[in-house]
Amino acid sequence: MDINERISQIGVVPVIKLNNPERDAAPLAKALCAGNVPVAEVTFRAAGADTAIRLMKEACPDMLVGAGTVLTREHVDKAKAAGATFIVTPGFDPELVAYCQEVGMPIYPGCTTPTDYHAALKFGLKVLKFFPAEQSGGLAKIKAMSAPFPMFKVMPTGGISLKNLKEYLSCPVICACGGSYMVTAELIDNGQWDEITRLCLESAKIVKEARK
């Protein structure tokens, strides 16, 4: 099973900002896996993202741990060295996409316009991040965009919660949904690992229901 299929099977991708990776990365990885969500997008919005990726992979070797908010080649190199499984960028940067393909890193660039989709087509990409999802037109726009571009699966992130997760996942265009509702700063900083696991289990249940 390739990485796109694995992410699609899990259905939700927690988007994580870790302020204290040494303290929180390992217990967070275990909490996500216990909640049947063995995947994470660790954003470079916080320093030490590469440390967080490495520690999460060490704690749960079978987990898919990717790097998010990747803006430069240096970020790609750091993520790859730390053992990242995939790269996510907020926008479509042709040079970064080409670089990731050159070094063998799966990349999910942020795409919300026909121009973005068209550019992604030239690179042979199959799954695109749709960010920020709700603010960019949400599911209605994703469906509209899939008419001229039926070859893409989409990973919406931004404004996704337990309330609208099923609606998104019920759409065949959606590969998986990214979200931070199960990994908020408050939950992580207070070490509420059981609550994170509970929210993940609830999310995994919704994935199962939506995919029936």
Whether 41 sits among the annotated catalytic residues: the reply is: yes
Q: How far apart are CA 105 and CA 85, in angstroms?
A: 7
Q: Annotate 92-157 with DSSP letters as a single string.
A: --HHHHHHHHHTT--EEEB--SHHHHHHHHHTT--EEEETTTGGGTHHHHHHHHHTT-TT-EEEEB
Helix (H, G, I), strand (E, B) or coil at 174: strand
Q: How far apart are CA 101 and CA 104, in angstroms?
A: 5
Q: Active-site residue among 17, 57, 78, 129?
A: 129
Q: Active-site residue among 17, 41, 80, 153?
A: 41
Q: How far apart are CA 20 and CA 67, in angstroms?
A: 16
- For the record, the structure tokens of 141 come out as 């726009």
Whether 129 sits among the annotated catalytic residues: the reply is: yes
Q: How far apart are CA 176 and CA 40, in angstroms?
A: 12
Q: Which is nearest to 67 in space by CA: 94, 35, 57, 58?
A: 57
Residues 6 or more apart whose Cβ sits within 8 Å of residue 166: 206, 209, 210
Enumerate the active-site residues.
Answer: 41, 129
